């Protein structure tokens, strides 16, 4: 098989944060596959075919990429942030698992800067010690599991980064997230709302958990809640590396 698939992360939004490795892959590609707004970030050129698709057809997109690679195409599957964090890398391997000879495919995952890390860097170092990332969308997992993970992570003292915190299709769910956190954590714990980080629409807002309101988040917001040791220093927040 002469074709290949590279699953690439385009970073959080600023084109300067697209890695040179990803730029090289895009320059060599014959086809680019991905969710509509991510494909729109790729500059069209002769010899490159763009294949934008809806956000809820990840497996179809992955199979399309594998089929094109099997036909000799050089395919880049694009995600925002990092492709291995709630993105297309897992979907490609899920599709690959159903193929009769997975090892016949040339697949490479090209990392990118995920929104969690970009937001944390803007804020200071809120993920400076143990932390976890939780996708608050229940499209691909049951809500009961999300609630369980929230409670256990809060009880364990993790800082937490929340992807997809709030959407019109999930009314009341982020309000419920805040209820759970307030039941498990002191009200003075810091929570940050980092919207559209690294773009011209970037907005950062740090409040206490007691002050937090669900309206502070939307689908373009990365929410980071610190642990009980997370503190302010000047305009930044950080979680100390030393605990206990």
Q: What are the chain's domains?
A: 4-113 (3.40.1010.10), 116-238 (3.30.950.10)
| Whether pLDDT at 4 is above 90 | yes
Residue 167's pLDDT is what?
A: 81
- 37 secondary structure, DSSP code: H
- The pLDDT confidence band at residue 55, using thresholds 50, 70 and 90, is confident
What would the pLDDT profile of 186-209 be if each residue is shown by its tens digit?
999 999 999 999 999 999 999 999
What would the pLDDT profile of 216-228 be if each residue is shown by its tens digit?
999 899 999 999 9
> In this structure, which long-range contacts are made by residues 138-141, counting pairs with CB atoms below 8 Å and at least 24 apart in sequence?
138/170, 138/173, 139/56
| Average confidence (pLDDT) over 83-99 | 96
Mean pLDDT rounded to a whole number for the chain = 95
- 169 secondary structure, DSSP code: T
| Whether pLDDT at 163 is above 70 | yes
| Whether pLDDT at 172 is above 90 | no
Question: Beta 49-53 vs 221-225: how paired, if at all?
Answer: unpaired
Q: What percent of the chain has pLDDT over 90?
A: 92
The phi, psi pair for 181, rounded to 5°, reads: -65, -40
Residue 1's pLDDT is what?
A: 62
């Amino acid at each position: 098989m002469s074709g290949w698939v590279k699953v690439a992360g385009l970073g959080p939004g600023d084109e300067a944060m697209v890695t040179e490795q990803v730029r090289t892959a895009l320059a060599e590609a014959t086809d680019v596959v991905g969710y509509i707004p991510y494909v729109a970030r790729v500059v069209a050129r002769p010899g490159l075919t763009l294949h934008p698709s809806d956000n809820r057809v990840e497996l179809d997109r992955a199979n399309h990429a594998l089929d094109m690679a099997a036909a000799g195409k050089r395919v880049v599957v694009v995600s925002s942030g990092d492709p291995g964090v709630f993105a297309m890398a897992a979907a490609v391997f899920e599709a690959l698992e159903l193929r009769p000879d997975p090892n016949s495919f040339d697949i490479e995952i090209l990392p990118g800067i995920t929104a969690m890390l970009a937001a944390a860097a803007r804020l200071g170092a809120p993920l400076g010690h143990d932390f976890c990332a939780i996708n608050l969308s229940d499209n691909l997992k049951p809500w009961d599991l999300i609630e369980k993970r929230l409670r256990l992570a809060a009880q364990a003292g993790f800082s937490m980064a929340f992807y997809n915190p709030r959407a019109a299709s999930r009314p009341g769910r982020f309000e419920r997230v805040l209820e759970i956190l307030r039941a498990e954590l002191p009200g003075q714990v810091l929570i940050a709302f980092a919207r559209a980080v690294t773009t011209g629409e970037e907005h950062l807002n740090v409040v206490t958990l007691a002050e937090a309101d669900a309206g502070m988040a939307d689908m373009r917001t990365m929410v980071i809640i610190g642990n009980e040791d997370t503190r302010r220093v000047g305009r930044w927040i950080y979680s100390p590396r030393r605990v206990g």
